[in-house]
């Protein structure tokens, strides 16, 4: 096979789902992300850890352009997110294009953010029918399959406030999957849950791992050990370590990684 480094469809580029280069993000005068470089390949599971306020959630939210970056560039599936390039400068993309791009990226939130005025099933079919314009029956069939997959088919007509936290989060995962994303972002998916409900959500995530590219901000080290290909440790807006779970747990390079790990591993 002839390797062509220039062509954007060359096999090596094709496997890259997320590429962040020199990303900086400020909230006012607060510098939250500092020169972040990161590459995530297809079907990789990357777990991001770090102290609170370190910028890990912000990084995730920049990847689907819910937060705008101040400099650098982020591409998802080979295309810049939120911007396009014109005469060597980045110009903010149209809302429609950004929305279309976001549709390829599923996101699961700490507080679930299910739509409270819609049933579980309606939550799942809302975006497929209104964004992708899929016929309702087809969307319902898909949604039922997803509900079955997360083990909640019998809850399809319940409203979010009739479900437990763990059930809500599993519906939220199904809702994101209904758009058939190529990348899933999980923003502390279990930290708002009662301890006895964490397992059911991690089980669903474990099953998804390696079927789909995942970036997971979480301190669930059991999940990281079992499912992650890589762990990224962020502190004060910088990537401090980017390595395999085994390596990170056995011999962290930096002193602050050790300190942090000793805190979350008890």
What's the CA angle centered on 245, arms 201 and 171, to 5 degrees?
A: 15
Q: What's the CA gap between 183 and 108, in Å, rounded? A: 11
DSSP β-ladder status, 16-27 and 105-108:
unpaired
Least distance to another protein, CB of residue 220, Å: 21
Instruction: Give the H/E segment covering residue 39.
Output: strand 30-41
Tell me the CB-side half-sphere exposure of residue 68, using CA atoms within 13 A: 10
Q: Which residues contact 123 (CB under 8 A, 6 or more apart)?
A: 114, 115, 160, 171, 172, 175
Least distance to another protein, CB of residue 3, Å: 34
Residues binding another protein (CB under 8 A): 64, 66, 95-96, 99-100, 102-107, 109, 111, 113-117, 126-127, 130-132, 161, 172, 175-176, 179
Q: For residues 117 and 266, which CB has a smaller minimum distance to another protein in the complex?
A: 117
Phi and psi of 132, rounded to 5°? -85, -10
Instruction: Give the H/E segment covering residue 249.
Output: helix 245-250
77 - beta bridge partners? none
Phi and psi of 52, rounded to 5°? -65, 140
Identify whether the C-beta of residue 65 lies closer than 8 Å to the C-beta of residue 81: yes
Least distance to another protein, CB of residue 225, Å: 28
Tell me which residue of 177, 161, 46 sits closest to 106, measured CA to CA: 177
Q: For residues 20 and 107, which CB has a smaller minimum distance to another protein in the complex?
A: 107
Distances in whole angstroms, Cα of residue 180 to Cα of each of 160, 162, 213, 218: 22, 26, 12, 23
Count, residues in the chain? 266
Inter-axis angle of helices 136-149 and 120-130, nearest 10: 130
Q: For residues 63 and 240, which CB has a smaller minimum distance to another protein in the complex?
A: 63
Least distance to another protein, CB of residue 40, Å: 17
Q: For residues 74 and 239, which CB has a smaller minimum distance to another protein in the complex?
A: 74
Q: For residues 127 and 261, which CB has a smaller minimum distance to another protein in the complex?
A: 127
Q: For residues 161 and 250, which CB has a smaller minimum distance to another protein in the complex?
A: 161
Q: For residues 128 and 166, which CB has a smaller minimum distance to another protein in the complex?
A: 128
């Amino acid at each position: 096979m002839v390797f062509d480094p220039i062509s954007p469809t060359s096999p090596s580029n094709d496997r890259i789902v997320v590429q962040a280069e020199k990303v900086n993000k400020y909230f006012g005068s607060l510098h939250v992300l500092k020169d972040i470089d990161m590459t995530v390949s297809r079907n990789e599971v990357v777990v991001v850890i770090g102290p609170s306020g370190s910028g890990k959630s912000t990084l995730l939210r920049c990847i689907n352009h819910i937060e705008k970056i101040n400099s650098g560039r982020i591409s998802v599936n080979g295309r810049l997110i939120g911007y396009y390039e014109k005469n060597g400068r980045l110009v903010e993309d149209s809302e429609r294009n950004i929305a279309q791009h976001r549709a390829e990226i599923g996101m699961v939130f700490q507080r679930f953010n299910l739509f409270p005025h819609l049933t579980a099933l309606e939550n799942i079919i809302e975006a497929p029918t209104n964004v992708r314009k899929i016929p309702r029956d087809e969307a319902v069939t898909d949604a039922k399959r997803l509900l079955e997959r997360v083990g909640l088919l019998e809850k399809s007509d319940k409203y979010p406030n009739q479900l437990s936290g763990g059930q809500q989060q599993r519906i939220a995962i199904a809702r994101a999957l209904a758009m058939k994303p190529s990348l899933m972002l999980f923003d502390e998916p279990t930290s708002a849950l009662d301890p006895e409900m964490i397992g059911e959500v991690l089980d669903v995530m474990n099953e998804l791992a390696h079927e789909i590219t995942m970036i997971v901000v979480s301190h669930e080290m059991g999940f990281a050990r079992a499912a992650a290909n890589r762990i990224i440790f962020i502190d004060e807006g910088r990537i401090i370590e980017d390595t395999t779970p085994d390596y990170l747990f056995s011999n962290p390079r930096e002193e602050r990684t050790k300190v942090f790990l000793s805190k979350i591993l008890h």
